[in-house]
Amino acid sequence: MGARVRMADPADPRLAELRDLNRAESRPDRPGGSGLVVAEGRLIVERLLASRYPVRLVAGTAARLDELAAGPGLPAGATVAEVDRATISAVVGFDFHRGVLATADRAPEHSVAEVLAGARTLLVLEGVGDHENIGALFRNAAGLGVDGVLFGAACADPLYRRSVRVSMGHVLRVPFAHLPGGTTTWQRGLAGLRERGFRVVAMTPGESSAPLWEAMAAERVALVVGAEGPGLTEHAMRACEVRARIPMAAGADSLNVATAAAVGLYERARTLAGPMGQPRVT
């Protein structure tokens, strides 16, 4: 277990990486893809401790550190700082009431092959540039049984602080990888999924799409969603085998991308469970 050190001085250099946390997301020294992983609050810190990301620092109140020590245990090799709420608030720059936070280095990303190994249900994202949506997509993916997430082009960083928080830490659990290529070439990776036996389903509104429930009965499914507003590119839709839509009421807008994905993934889980006399997919 890491040695636990009391720190009472907000200027303590060992706490430097927590300084001005609200501004950390826009720091020029932390460009997209290279920032530290930050976990806030007990639940997400526990998921970080259980993850493959090398923990650097855990800073928390005595009570929170005791809980972690009694639960998953505190990481060896990391700095474990016992701080009171006033100190941690002064360091991070806002009233930090969650009692514990932690940082970790990024680990090398999984390969696409690693994400695919054994997977039956994948979620593929294109053009989802909003960190909150990325987080919500991972939360929904984890809840609804997705085996892995693949990124096409133009998506936000899943390990950004806000994505981690909104995902409830599930970005640290659900394997993900980036398909290679740029905005008009990454879609070749979808052909690769089809070659490996995945039915690649584009979620897209419109009359040329089948109702969602007609699309999911396959041994392996990759559900492809795009950003709200623009939706999937034509390149992406052409690389998919099936187009599926959520039937929408007249006069309504499309759903938020994370909500739409949750509906699609629920339909996938329902199909796999084989309810009401429908053939169970095996």
Binding site for a second copy (CB under 8 A): 136, 139-140, 142-145, 168, 170, 173, 211-214, 246-249, 251-256, 258-259, 262-263, 266-267, 269-270, 273, 275-278
Burial of 217 (0-12, 13-18, 19+ CB in 10 A): middle
Residue with structure tokens 């099936």? 242
* Minimum gap (Å) between residue 216 Cβ and a second copy: 11
Task: Choose between 54 and 143: whose C-beta lies nearer to a second copy.
Answer: 143
Q: How many CB atoms lie within 10 A of CB 191?
A: 13
The residues, ordered by sequence, that sit 6+ positions from 155 with a Cβ below 8 Å of its Cβ are 125, 126, 127, 128, 129, 134
Task: Choose between 173 and 194: whose C-beta lies nearer to a second copy.
Answer: 173
* Minimum gap (Å) between residue 162 Cβ and a second copy: 15
* Minimum gap (Å) between residue 270 Cβ and a second copy: 6
Q: Give the residue ranges of DSSP H helices in 196-279.
A: 234-238, 257-273
Task: Choose between 5 and 94: whose C-beta lies nearer to a second copy.
Answer: 94
* Minimum gap (Å) between residue 254 Cβ and a second copy: 7
Task: Choose between 70 and 276: whose C-beta lies nearer to a second copy.
Answer: 276
CB 264 within 8 A of CB 257: no
Task: Choose between 154 and 263: whose C-beta lies nearer to a second copy.
Answer: 263
* Minimum gap (Å) between residue 137 Cβ and a second copy: 11
* Minimum gap (Å) between residue 274 Cβ and a second copy: 10
Task: Choose between 69 and 255: whose C-beta lies nearer to a second copy.
Answer: 255
CA distance 52 to 30: 21
Task: Choose between 153 and 164: whose C-beta lies nearer to a second copy.
Answer: 164
* Among 138, 135, 125, CA closest to 222: 125
* Minimum gap (Å) between residue 278 Cβ and a second copy: 6
Q: Which amino acid is at 79?
A: T
Phi and psi torsions of 40, nearest 5°:
-125, 130
CB 222 within 8 A of CB 200: yes
Instruction: Kindly state the tokens that stand for 94.
Output: 């806002």
CB 177 within 8 A of CB 109: yes
